[in-house]
Protein backbone atom coordinates (compact mmCIF):
# COMPACT_ATOMS: atom_id res chain seq x y z
CA UNK A 1 0.00 0.00 0.00
CA UNK A 2 1.47 3.35 -1.00
CA UNK A 3 0.32 6.88 -0.27
CA UNK A 4 -2.58 6.78 -2.69
CA UNK A 5 -5.03 7.92 -0.06
CA UNK A 6 -3.57 11.40 -0.06
CA UNK A 7 -3.76 13.86 -2.92
CA UNK A 8 -1.02 13.47 -5.58
CA UNK A 9 2.00 15.75 -5.31
CA UNK A 10 1.67 17.01 -8.89
CA UNK A 11 -1.26 17.90 -11.13
CA UNK A 12 -1.32 17.40 -14.89
CA UNK A 13 -2.94 20.46 -16.45
CA UNK A 14 -4.05 19.71 -20.02
CA UNK A 15 -5.43 22.54 -22.16
CA UNK A 16 -8.26 20.76 -23.98
CA UNK A 17 -8.42 23.53 -26.60
CA UNK A 18 -4.83 22.77 -27.60
CA UNK A 19 -4.69 18.99 -27.17
CA UNK A 20 -5.00 17.17 -30.50
CA UNK A 21 -4.97 13.70 -28.87
CA UNK A 22 -1.77 12.78 -30.72
CA UNK A 23 -0.86 10.48 -27.76
CA UNK A 24 2.80 11.56 -27.75
CA UNK A 25 2.61 12.05 -23.97
CA UNK A 26 1.21 8.52 -23.56
CA UNK A 27 4.06 6.98 -25.56
CA UNK A 28 6.74 9.07 -23.87
CA UNK A 29 5.78 8.46 -20.25
CA UNK A 30 7.38 5.37 -18.70
CA UNK A 31 5.30 5.99 -15.58
CA UNK A 32 2.05 5.54 -17.55
CA UNK A 33 0.50 8.81 -16.44
CA UNK A 34 -1.29 9.55 -19.72
CA UNK A 35 -3.84 7.42 -21.59
CA UNK A 36 -6.41 7.89 -24.34
CA UNK A 37 -10.02 7.28 -23.31
CA UNK A 38 -11.98 6.03 -26.37
CA UNK A 39 -15.28 6.40 -24.47
CA UNK A 40 -14.68 10.06 -23.74
CA UNK A 41 -12.65 10.72 -26.90
CA UNK A 42 -9.92 12.56 -25.01
CA UNK A 43 -6.69 12.13 -23.08
CA UNK A 44 -6.86 11.39 -19.36
CA UNK A 45 -4.17 11.39 -16.64
CA UNK A 46 -3.35 9.29 -13.60
CA UNK A 47 -1.60 11.91 -11.50
CA UNK A 48 -0.69 9.49 -8.71
CA UNK A 49 2.06 8.17 -11.03
CA UNK A 50 3.48 11.54 -12.10
CA UNK A 51 7.08 12.31 -10.96
CA UNK A 52 7.27 15.67 -12.78
CA UNK A 53 10.11 14.67 -15.11
CA UNK A 54 8.74 17.13 -17.70
CA UNK A 55 9.20 14.71 -20.62
CA UNK A 56 5.58 15.08 -21.79
CA UNK A 57 5.65 18.85 -21.33
CA UNK A 58 8.81 19.14 -23.44
CA UNK A 59 7.56 16.95 -26.29
CA UNK A 60 3.88 17.93 -26.52
CA UNK A 61 3.66 19.39 -30.04
CA UNK A 62 0.94 21.91 -29.15
CA UNK A 63 2.22 23.03 -25.73
CA UNK A 64 -1.01 21.70 -24.23
CA UNK A 65 0.56 20.38 -21.03
CA UNK A 66 1.73 21.81 -17.74
CA UNK A 67 2.74 19.91 -14.62
CA UNK A 68 2.20 21.96 -11.48
CA UNK A 69 2.81 21.28 -7.84
CA UNK A 70 -0.50 20.59 -6.20
CA UNK A 71 -1.76 23.34 -3.92
CA UNK A 72 -3.99 20.87 -2.08
CA UNK A 73 -2.57 21.15 1.43
CA UNK A 74 -2.49 18.74 4.28
CA UNK A 75 -3.03 20.40 7.62
CA UNK A 76 0.70 20.84 8.18
CA UNK A 77 2.51 22.93 10.75
CA UNK A 78 6.14 23.89 11.36
CA UNK A 79 6.82 20.52 12.97
CA UNK A 80 4.68 18.16 10.86
CA UNK A 81 5.20 19.22 7.29
CA UNK A 82 3.58 17.63 4.23
CA UNK A 83 6.75 15.75 3.26
CA UNK A 84 7.12 14.24 6.74
CA UNK A 85 3.48 13.15 6.79
CA UNK A 86 3.80 11.60 3.31
CA UNK A 87 6.88 9.66 4.40
CA UNK A 88 5.11 8.28 7.46
CA UNK A 89 2.17 7.15 5.31
CA UNK A 90 4.57 5.54 2.84
CA UNK A 91 6.48 3.61 5.51
CA UNK A 92 3.26 2.62 7.24
CA UNK A 93 2.19 1.15 3.91
CA UNK A 94 5.42 -0.51 2.80
CA UNK A 95 7.29 -1.31 6.01
CA UNK A 96 10.49 -0.44 4.14
CA UNK A 97 13.42 1.95 4.24
CA UNK A 98 12.68 5.11 2.24
CA UNK A 99 14.78 5.41 -0.91
CA UNK A 100 15.74 8.62 -2.70
CA UNK A 101 17.77 9.74 -5.69
CA UNK A 102 20.05 12.69 -6.38
CA UNK A 103 21.47 14.92 -3.62
CA UNK A 104 20.34 16.15 -0.21
CA UNK A 105 17.47 18.63 -0.79
CA UNK A 106 17.31 19.99 2.77
CA UNK A 107 17.73 23.74 3.33
CA UNK A 108 21.16 23.35 4.94
CA UNK A 109 23.77 26.06 4.27
CA UNK A 110 25.33 26.21 0.81
CA UNK A 111 28.59 27.91 1.71
CA UNK A 112 29.51 28.58 -1.92
CA UNK A 113 26.65 31.14 -1.88
CA UNK A 114 28.08 32.82 1.24
CA UNK A 115 31.55 33.26 -0.24
CA UNK A 116 32.44 36.12 -2.60
CA UNK A 117 35.39 36.41 -4.99
CA UNK A 118 37.83 39.32 -5.18
CA UNK A 119 38.57 41.45 -8.27
CA UNK A 120 41.47 43.73 -9.16
CA UNK A 121 40.91 47.51 -9.10
CA UNK A 122 43.38 50.37 -9.77
CA UNK A 123 46.59 49.19 -8.11
CA UNK A 124 46.76 45.60 -9.31
CA UNK A 125 45.80 45.10 -12.93
CA UNK A 126 43.27 42.50 -14.01
CA UNK A 127 44.08 40.24 -16.95
CA UNK A 128 42.05 40.03 -20.14
CA UNK A 129 41.71 36.29 -20.87
CA UNK A 130 40.85 36.98 -24.52
CA UNK A 131 44.16 38.75 -25.15
CA UNK A 132 46.59 37.36 -22.63
CA UNK A 133 47.71 33.81 -21.85
CA UNK A 134 45.71 32.05 -19.18
CA UNK A 135 46.57 28.55 -17.94
CA UNK A 136 43.70 26.27 -16.89
CA UNK A 137 45.69 23.03 -17.20
CA UNK A 138 46.26 21.09 -13.98
CA UNK A 139 48.28 18.01 -13.10
CA UNK A 140 46.98 15.72 -10.38
CA UNK A 141 49.34 13.52 -8.39
CA UNK A 142 52.21 13.70 -5.92
CA UNK A 143 54.59 16.63 -6.37
CA UNK A 144 58.07 17.06 -4.92
CA UNK A 145 58.38 19.63 -2.12
CA UNK A 146 61.39 21.26 -3.76
CA UNK A 147 63.22 21.29 -7.07
CA UNK A 148 65.86 18.56 -7.09
CA UNK A 149 69.12 18.60 -9.06
CA UNK A 150 71.80 15.98 -9.67
CA UNK A 151 75.15 16.91 -11.20
CA UNK A 152 73.65 20.29 -12.10
CA UNK A 153 70.76 18.68 -13.99
CA UNK A 154 67.12 19.12 -12.95
CA UNK A 155 65.57 15.87 -11.81
CA UNK A 156 62.30 15.82 -13.69
CA UNK A 157 61.08 12.34 -12.82
CA UNK A 158 57.68 12.69 -11.19
CA UNK A 159 55.31 10.06 -9.88
CA UNK A 160 52.48 9.42 -12.38
CA UNK A 161 50.29 12.48 -13.00
CA UNK A 162 46.87 13.05 -14.53
CA UNK A 163 46.84 15.93 -16.98
CA UNK A 164 43.56 17.88 -17.29
CA UNK A 165 42.85 20.76 -19.66
CA UNK A 166 40.72 22.37 -16.94
CA UNK A 167 40.18 21.60 -13.24
CA UNK A 168 36.93 19.66 -13.68
CA UNK A 169 36.23 15.93 -14.14
CA UNK A 170 33.05 13.85 -14.44
CA UNK A 171 32.68 11.92 -11.21
CA UNK A 172 31.80 8.29 -10.63
CA UNK A 173 28.51 7.07 -12.11
CA UNK A 174 28.36 3.35 -12.68
CA UNK A 175 27.20 1.55 -15.81
CA UNK A 176 24.02 0.10 -14.41
CA UNK A 177 23.01 3.14 -12.41
CA UNK A 178 23.21 5.14 -15.66
CA UNK A 179 22.72 3.92 -19.19
CA UNK A 180 25.15 2.85 -21.91
CA UNK A 181 24.35 6.02 -23.86
CA UNK A 182 24.97 8.22 -20.83
CA UNK A 183 28.35 6.54 -20.35
CA UNK A 184 29.15 6.91 -24.04
CA UNK A 185 28.33 10.64 -23.83
CA UNK A 186 30.60 11.12 -20.81
CA UNK A 187 33.47 9.10 -22.31
CA UNK A 188 33.39 10.92 -25.64
CA UNK A 189 33.11 14.35 -24.04
CA UNK A 190 35.96 13.67 -21.58
CA UNK A 191 38.21 12.54 -24.44
CA UNK A 192 37.36 15.54 -26.59
CA UNK A 193 37.85 17.96 -23.70
CA UNK A 194 41.09 16.46 -22.36
CA UNK A 195 39.62 15.68 -18.95
CA UNK A 196 38.51 12.39 -17.32
CA UNK A 197 35.30 10.55 -16.57
CA UNK A 198 34.87 7.80 -13.96
CA UNK A 199 33.43 4.30 -14.33
CA UNK A 200 31.95 4.19 -10.84
CA UNK A 201 31.77 0.75 -9.32
CA UNK A 202 30.10 -1.02 -12.24
CA UNK A 203 33.15 -2.05 -14.28
CA UNK A 204 34.03 -0.85 -17.76
CA UNK A 205 31.99 -1.93 -20.79
CA UNK A 206 34.30 -3.37 -23.46
CA UNK A 207 33.17 -0.69 -25.94
CA UNK A 208 34.68 2.00 -23.74
CA UNK A 209 38.21 0.60 -23.48
CA UNK A 210 39.38 2.92 -26.30
CA UNK A 211 38.55 5.87 -24.01
CA UNK A 212 40.94 4.47 -21.35
CA UNK A 213 43.39 7.42 -21.34
CA UNK A 214 40.47 9.61 -20.23
CA UNK A 215 38.95 7.12 -17.81
CA UNK A 216 39.27 6.65 -14.06
CA UNK A 217 38.45 3.05 -13.15
CA UNK A 218 36.94 2.54 -9.73
CA UNK A 219 37.53 -0.25 -7.24
CA UNK A 220 34.73 -0.35 -4.66
CA UNK A 221 33.95 -2.76 -1.85
CA UNK A 222 31.91 -5.05 -4.14
CA UNK A 223 34.86 -5.33 -6.60
CA UNK A 224 32.34 -5.56 -9.46
CA UNK A 225 34.01 -5.85 -12.85
CA UNK A 226 37.53 -5.54 -11.43
CA UNK A 227 40.19 -7.55 -13.28
CA UNK A 228 43.67 -6.99 -14.66
CA UNK A 229 42.61 -5.58 -18.02
CA UNK A 230 40.19 -3.21 -16.30
CA UNK A 231 42.92 -1.82 -14.06
CA UNK A 232 45.24 -1.51 -17.04
CA UNK A 233 42.59 0.24 -19.12
CA UNK A 234 42.22 3.39 -17.01
CA UNK A 235 44.49 6.41 -16.62
CA UNK A 236 44.02 6.23 -12.82
CA UNK A 237 42.46 3.87 -10.29
CA UNK A 238 40.04 5.13 -7.65
CA UNK A 239 39.43 3.20 -4.44
CA UNK A 240 35.94 4.14 -3.32
CA UNK A 241 35.62 4.10 0.44
CA UNK A 242 32.64 6.41 0.71
CA UNK A 243 30.21 8.60 -1.17
CA UNK A 244 28.72 11.92 -0.03
CA UNK A 245 25.10 10.89 -0.51
CA UNK A 246 25.47 7.77 1.63
CA UNK A 247 28.51 7.86 3.92
CA UNK A 248 29.07 4.75 5.99
CA UNK A 249 26.90 2.41 3.94
CA UNK A 250 27.44 0.33 0.82
CA UNK A 251 25.73 0.42 -2.56
CA UNK A 252 22.71 -1.42 -3.87
CA UNK A 253 21.76 -1.74 -7.52
CA UNK A 254 18.49 -3.66 -7.79
CA UNK A 255 18.46 -6.91 -9.78
CA UNK A 256 16.02 -5.35 -12.26
CA UNK A 257 18.88 -3.17 -13.53
CA UNK A 258 21.36 -6.10 -13.72
CA UNK A 259 20.53 -7.12 -17.28
CA UNK A 260 22.53 -8.04 -20.40
CA UNK A 261 25.74 -6.07 -20.70
CA UNK A 262 25.40 -4.64 -17.19
CA UNK A 263 25.57 -8.15 -15.72
CA UNK A 264 28.49 -9.13 -17.99
CA UNK A 265 30.41 -5.94 -17.20
CA UNK A 266 29.89 -6.37 -13.46
CA UNK A 267 30.66 -10.09 -13.69
CA UNK A 268 27.53 -11.07 -11.72
CA UNK A 269 24.46 -13.10 -12.79
CA UNK A 270 21.51 -11.40 -14.48
CA UNK A 271 18.77 -10.36 -12.09
CA UNK A 272 20.91 -10.62 -8.94
CA UNK A 273 21.07 -7.53 -6.73
CA UNK A 274 24.52 -5.86 -6.85
CA UNK A 275 25.19 -5.16 -3.19
CA UNK A 276 28.48 -3.55 -2.22
CA UNK A 277 29.23 -4.04 1.46
CA UNK A 278 29.52 -0.96 3.68
CA UNK A 279 33.23 -1.51 4.46
CA UNK A 280 35.98 -3.01 2.31
CA UNK A 281 36.38 -6.26 4.18
CA UNK A 282 40.16 -6.05 3.82
CA UNK A 283 40.47 -2.49 5.16
CA UNK A 284 40.28 -1.75 8.87
CA UNK A 285 43.20 0.67 9.21
CA UNK A 286 45.39 3.07 7.24
CA UNK A 287 47.96 0.23 7.03
CA UNK A 288 45.31 -1.96 5.33
CA UNK A 289 44.44 0.87 2.96
CA UNK A 290 48.14 1.24 2.18
CA UNK A 291 48.27 -2.43 1.24
CA UNK A 292 45.44 -2.01 -1.25
CA UNK A 293 46.94 1.22 -2.66
CA UNK A 294 50.26 -0.55 -3.25
CA UNK A 295 48.64 -3.75 -4.54
CA UNK A 296 46.94 -1.65 -7.22
CA UNK A 297 50.16 0.23 -7.99
CA UNK A 298 52.05 -3.08 -8.19
CA UNK A 299 49.39 -4.55 -10.49
CA UNK A 300 49.84 -1.62 -12.87
CA UNK A 301 53.66 -1.32 -12.61
CA UNK A 302 53.49 1.99 -10.68
CA UNK A 303 52.34 3.76 -13.87
CA UNK A 304 48.99 5.05 -12.64
CA UNK A 305 48.01 7.42 -9.84
CA UNK A 306 45.76 5.90 -7.17
CA UNK A 307 42.85 7.99 -5.88
CA UNK A 308 41.12 7.29 -2.57
CA UNK A 309 37.56 8.62 -2.47
CA UNK A 310 35.86 9.31 0.85
CA UNK A 311 32.71 11.05 1.99
CA UNK A 312 33.03 14.32 3.91
CA UNK A 313 32.40 13.36 7.54
CA UNK A 314 33.09 14.90 10.94
CA UNK A 315 36.80 14.07 11.31
CA UNK A 316 37.64 14.33 7.62
CA UNK A 317 40.90 16.26 8.18
CA UNK A 318 42.42 13.45 10.24
CA UNK A 319 41.11 10.84 7.78
CA UNK A 320 42.66 12.73 4.84
CA UNK A 321 45.97 12.96 6.68
CA UNK A 322 45.94 9.17 7.06
CA UNK A 323 45.08 8.67 3.38
CA UNK A 324 47.90 10.98 2.33
CA UNK A 325 50.27 8.80 4.37
CA UNK A 326 48.85 5.60 2.86
CA UNK A 327 50.66 6.29 -0.41
CA UNK A 328 47.59 7.48 -2.34
CA UNK A 329 48.34 10.11 -5.00
CA UNK A 330 44.98 11.88 -4.97
CA UNK A 331 42.24 12.23 -2.35
CA UNK A 332 38.69 12.74 -3.61
CA UNK A 333 36.24 14.12 -1.04
CA UNK A 334 32.51 14.01 -1.68
CA UNK A 335 30.29 16.44 0.24
CA UNK A 336 26.88 15.71 1.72
CA UNK A 337 24.97 17.31 -1.15
CA UNK A 338 26.47 14.82 -3.64
CA UNK A 339 24.07 13.00 -5.94
CA UNK A 340 23.27 9.31 -6.15
CA UNK A 341 21.24 6.87 -8.19
CA UNK A 342 19.71 5.50 -5.00
CA UNK A 343 20.29 6.07 -1.28
CA UNK A 344 18.29 5.58 1.89
CA UNK A 345 16.59 8.95 2.42
CA UNK A 346 17.50 9.22 6.12
CA UNK A 347 21.20 8.66 5.36
CA UNK A 348 21.26 11.05 2.42
CA UNK A 349 19.55 13.84 4.33
CA UNK A 350 21.27 13.55 7.72
CA UNK A 351 24.79 12.14 7.39
CA UNK A 352 27.99 13.93 6.37
CA UNK A 353 29.14 17.54 6.26
CA UNK A 354 29.30 20.31 3.63
CA UNK A 355 32.15 19.97 1.16
CA UNK A 356 33.24 23.60 1.62
CA UNK A 357 34.06 23.09 5.32
CA UNK A 358 35.60 19.66 4.68
CA UNK A 359 37.86 21.00 1.92
CA UNK A 360 39.09 23.97 3.95
CA UNK A 361 39.78 21.76 6.98
CA UNK A 362 41.64 19.11 4.95
CA UNK A 363 43.77 21.58 2.98
CA UNK A 364 44.78 23.35 6.20
CA UNK A 365 45.57 20.11 8.03
CA UNK A 366 47.75 18.79 5.20
CA UNK A 367 49.59 22.14 5.06
CA UNK A 368 50.09 22.16 8.83
CA UNK A 369 51.54 18.66 8.65
CA UNK A 370 53.78 19.56 5.72
CA UNK A 371 52.30 16.87 3.47
CA UNK A 372 50.07 18.96 1.18
CA UNK A 373 52.27 18.25 -1.86
CA UNK A 374 52.15 14.52 -1.33
CA UNK A 375 48.54 14.40 -2.59
CA UNK A 376 46.19 16.30 -4.88
CA UNK A 377 42.70 17.13 -3.63
CA UNK A 378 39.60 16.66 -5.76
CA UNK A 379 36.24 17.75 -4.34
CA UNK A 380 32.67 17.10 -5.39
CA UNK A 381 29.18 17.11 -3.97
CA UNK A 382 27.03 19.64 -5.81
CA UNK A 383 29.51 21.76 -7.73
CA UNK A 384 27.00 23.75 -9.77
CA UNK A 385 28.91 26.36 -11.75
CA UNK A 386 32.27 27.83 -12.77
CA UNK A 387 32.18 30.12 -9.73
CA UNK A 388 31.80 27.11 -7.40
CA UNK A 389 34.90 25.65 -9.10
CA UNK A 390 36.89 28.86 -8.64
CA UNK A 391 35.88 29.09 -4.97
CA UNK A 392 36.82 25.44 -4.42
CA UNK A 393 40.26 25.96 -5.99
CA UNK A 394 40.84 29.08 -3.89
CA UNK A 395 39.86 27.09 -0.78
CA UNK A 396 42.56 24.53 -1.61
CA UNK A 397 41.23 22.02 -4.17
CA UNK A 398 43.30 20.96 -7.18
CA UNK A 399 40.21 20.04 -9.20
CA UNK A 400 36.47 19.37 -8.88
CA UNK A 401 34.27 16.42 -9.70
CA UNK A 402 30.84 17.10 -11.20
CA UNK A 403 27.97 14.64 -11.76
CA UNK A 404 24.54 16.22 -11.32
CA UNK A 405 25.55 19.20 -13.49
CA UNK A 406 26.76 16.74 -16.16
CA UNK A 407 23.47 14.82 -16.04
CA UNK A 408 21.52 18.08 -16.35
CA UNK A 409 23.53 18.80 -19.50
CA UNK A 410 22.40 15.39 -20.80
CA UNK A 411 18.75 16.32 -20.26
CA UNK A 412 18.08 15.25 -16.65
CA UNK A 413 15.16 17.25 -15.21
CA UNK A 414 15.96 16.37 -11.57
CA UNK A 415 12.74 14.46 -11.01
CA UNK A 416 14.73 12.51 -8.42
CA UNK A 417 13.35 9.08 -9.24
CA UNK A 418 16.48 7.45 -10.70
CA UNK A 419 16.06 4.49 -8.31
CA UNK A 420 12.89 3.40 -10.14
CA UNK A 421 14.88 2.67 -13.34
CA UNK A 422 12.23 4.48 -15.41
CA UNK A 423 14.17 7.59 -16.37
CA UNK A 424 12.20 9.14 -19.21
CA UNK A 425 15.30 10.97 -20.43
CA UNK A 426 17.30 7.77 -21.08
CA UNK A 427 19.90 8.45 -18.39
CA UNK A 428 19.23 6.46 -15.18
CA UNK A 429 17.68 3.44 -16.86
CA UNK A 430 18.52 0.16 -18.59
CA UNK A 431 15.23 -0.17 -20.50
CA UNK A 432 16.27 -0.26 -24.18
CA UNK A 433 13.25 1.80 -25.29
CA UNK A 434 14.24 4.55 -22.82
CA UNK A 435 18.04 4.31 -23.28
CA UNK A 436 17.73 5.11 -26.99
CA UNK A 437 16.14 8.47 -26.16
CA UNK A 438 19.59 9.79 -25.24
CA UNK A 439 21.70 10.27 -28.35
CA UNK A 440 25.39 10.04 -27.30
CA UNK A 441 26.40 12.36 -30.14
CA UNK A 442 24.09 15.09 -28.87
CA UNK A 443 24.86 14.24 -25.23
CA UNK A 444 28.62 14.56 -25.65
CA UNK A 445 28.24 17.80 -27.63
CA UNK A 446 26.17 19.31 -24.82
CA UNK A 447 28.73 18.24 -22.22
CA UNK A 448 31.52 19.77 -24.31
CA UNK A 449 29.53 23.00 -24.59
CA UNK A 450 28.95 23.11 -20.84
CA UNK A 451 32.61 22.56 -20.01
CA UNK A 452 33.77 25.03 -22.67
CA UNK A 453 31.47 27.65 -21.19
CA UNK A 454 32.73 26.92 -17.66
CA UNK A 455 36.34 27.14 -18.81
CA UNK A 456 35.70 30.60 -20.27
CA UNK A 457 34.00 31.69 -17.06
CA UNK A 458 36.85 30.32 -14.93
CA UNK A 459 39.32 32.33 -17.04
CA UNK A 460 37.19 35.49 -16.72
CA UNK A 461 36.95 35.10 -12.94
CA UNK A 462 40.69 34.46 -12.64
CA UNK A 463 41.49 37.35 -14.97
CA UNK A 464 39.35 39.65 -12.84
CA UNK A 465 41.45 38.69 -9.83
CA UNK A 466 44.67 39.34 -11.74
CA UNK A 467 45.54 35.64 -11.66
CA UNK A 468 46.63 33.82 -14.79
CA UNK A 469 46.84 30.17 -13.74
CA UNK A 470 44.96 27.63 -11.65
CA UNK A 471 48.25 26.96 -9.86
CA UNK A 472 48.34 30.57 -8.58
CA UNK A 473 44.71 30.39 -7.51
CA UNK A 474 45.00 27.11 -5.58
CA UNK A 475 44.69 27.70 -1.85
CA UNK A 476 44.72 31.49 -2.37
CA UNK A 477 42.10 32.21 0.29
CA UNK A 478 42.93 35.91 0.25
CA UNK A 479 40.78 35.99 -2.88
CA UNK A 480 37.69 34.97 -0.88
CA UNK A 481 35.46 36.81 1.60
CA UNK A 482 32.49 35.50 3.59
CA UNK A 483 29.07 37.09 4.00
CA UNK A 484 26.67 36.29 6.82
CA UNK A 485 28.96 33.66 8.37
CA UNK A 486 29.79 33.17 12.05
CA UNK A 487 33.29 33.61 13.44
CA UNK A 488 33.59 29.83 13.70
CA UNK A 489 32.56 29.25 10.09
CA UNK A 490 35.02 31.90 8.89
CA UNK A 491 37.75 30.32 11.02
CA UNK A 492 37.16 26.86 9.52
CA UNK A 493 36.97 28.26 5.99
CA UNK A 494 40.14 30.27 6.69
CA UNK A 495 38.72 33.43 5.12
CA UNK A 496 37.92 36.95 6.31
CA UNK A 497 34.48 38.53 6.38
CA UNK A 498 33.51 40.87 3.56
CA UNK A 499 34.60 44.40 4.47
CA UNK A 500 37.78 43.20 6.20
S1 LIG B 1 1.27 15.25 -26.28
FE2 LIG B 1 0.06 17.13 -26.01
S3 LIG B 1 -1.28 17.22 -27.80
FE4 LIG B 1 -0.47 15.12 -27.73
S5 LIG B 1 -2.01 13.98 -26.53
FE6 LIG B 1 -0.51 14.67 -25.03
S7 LIG B 1 -1.32 16.66 -24.30
FE8 LIG B 1 -2.43 16.16 -26.21
S1 LIG C 1 18.52 11.04 -14.22
FE2 LIG C 1 16.44 10.71 -15.01
S3 LIG C 1 15.33 9.73 -13.29
FE4 LIG C 1 17.22 10.65 -12.43
S5 LIG C 1 16.58 12.71 -11.75
FE6 LIG C 1 17.37 12.92 -13.84
S7 LIG C 1 15.55 12.78 -15.18
FE8 LIG C 1 14.95 11.96 -13.15
Residues 148 and 267 in one domain: yes
Residues 355 and 208 in one domain: yes
Atom 1 in ligand 1: residue holding the nearest Cα? 60
Residues 159 and 41 in one domain: no
Q: Does residue 277 fall inside a structural domain?
A: yes
Residues 89 and 207 in one domain: no
Last residue of a domain, one of 62, 96, 130: 96
Instruction: State whether the beta carbon of 14 lies less than 6 angstroms from ligand 1.
Output: yes
> Would you list the DSSP string of 406-449?
HHHHHT----S-GGGT--TTSSS---HHHHTTS-HHHHHHHHHH
Atom 8 in ligand 2: residue holding the nearest Cα? 415
Query: Please, are residues 300 and 232 in contact by the beta-carbon 8 Å criterion?
Result: yes
Please write the tens of the pLDDT for every residue from 383-440. 999 999 999 999 999 999 999 999 999 999 999 999 899 999 999 999 999 999 999 9
Q: Does residue 44 fall inside a structural domain?
A: yes
Residues 81 and 144 in one domain: no
Residues 327 and 442 in one domain: yes
3-state percent helix, strand, coil for the chain, nearest multiple of 5 = 35, 15, 45
Tally of domains in the chain: 2
> Would you list the DSSP string of 123-152?
TS----TTTS--B--EEES---SS--EETT
Within 10 Å of residue 113's Cβ, how many Cβ atoms?
A: 14
Largest CA distance in the chain: 92
Residues 253 and 329 in one domain: yes
Last residue of a domain, one of 46, 62, 96: 96
Query: Please, are residues 438 and 425 in contact by the beta-carbon 8 Å criterion?
Result: yes
Q: Does residue 239 fall inside a structural domain?
A: yes
Residues 215 and 323 in one domain: yes
Q: Does residue 107 fall inside a structural domain?
A: no
Residues 246 and 373 in one domain: yes
Angle between helices 386-395 and 355-368 (to 10 degrees): 30
Residues 228 and 82 in one domain: no
Ligand 2: lining residues by beta carbon, under 6 Å: 53, 101-102, 407, 412-418, 423, 425, 427-428
Atom 2 in ligand 1: residue holding the nearest Cα? 60
* Rounded CA Rg of the chain: 24
Q: Does residue 202 fall inside a structural domain?
A: yes
Distance of CA 245 to the CA centre of its chain: 10
Please write the tens of the pLDDT for every residue from 182-229. 999 999 999 999 999 999 998 999 999 999 999 999 999 988 889 999
Kindly report the length of the chain.
500
Instruction: State whether the beta carbon of 43 lies less than 6 angstroms from ligand 1.
Output: yes
Query: Please, are residues 149 and 155 in contact by the beta-carbon 8 Å criterion?
Result: yes
Rounded Cα distance, 324 and 286, in Å? 10
What are the per-10-residue average pLDDT scores of the chain (500 residues)? Answer: 72 97 97 97 96 97 97 90 91 92 94 97 91 96 89 89 98 94 98 97 94 97 90 97 94 80 88 85 94 97 97 98 98 96 93 98 98 97 96 98 98 94 95 97 98 98 97 97 98 97
| 429 CA to centre of ligand 2 in angstroms | 9
Query: Please, are residues 96 and 335 in contact by the beta-carbon 8 Å criterion?
Result: no
**DSSP 3-state assignment of 365?**
helix
Q: Does residue 104 fall inside a structural domain?
A: no
> 307: which strand partners?
238, 330
Rounded Cα distance, 224 and 276, in Å? 8
Residues 418 and 321 in one domain: yes
CATH number at residue 275: 3.20.20.70
Q: In which domain, by residue range, is 70 found?
A: 10-96
Residues 199 and 70 in one domain: no
- Which-ligand-closest: CA of 18? 1
CATH number at residue 79: 3.30.70.20
Q: Does residue 121 fall inside a structural domain?
A: no
Q: Does residue 115 fall inside a structural domain?
A: no
Amino acid sequence: MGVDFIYPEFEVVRNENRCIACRVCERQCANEVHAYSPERGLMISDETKCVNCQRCVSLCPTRALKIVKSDCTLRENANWQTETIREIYEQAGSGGVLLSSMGNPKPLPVYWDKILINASQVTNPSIDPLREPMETRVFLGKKPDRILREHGQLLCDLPPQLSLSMPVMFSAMSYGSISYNAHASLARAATELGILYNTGEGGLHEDFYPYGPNTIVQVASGRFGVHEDYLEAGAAIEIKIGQGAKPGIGGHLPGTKIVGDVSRTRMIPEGSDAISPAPHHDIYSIEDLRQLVFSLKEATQYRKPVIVKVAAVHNIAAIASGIARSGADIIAIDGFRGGTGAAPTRIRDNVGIPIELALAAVDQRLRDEGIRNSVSLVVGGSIRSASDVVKAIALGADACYIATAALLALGCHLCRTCHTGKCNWGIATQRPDLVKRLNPEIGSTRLIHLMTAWRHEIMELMGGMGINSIESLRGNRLMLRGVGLTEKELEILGISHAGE
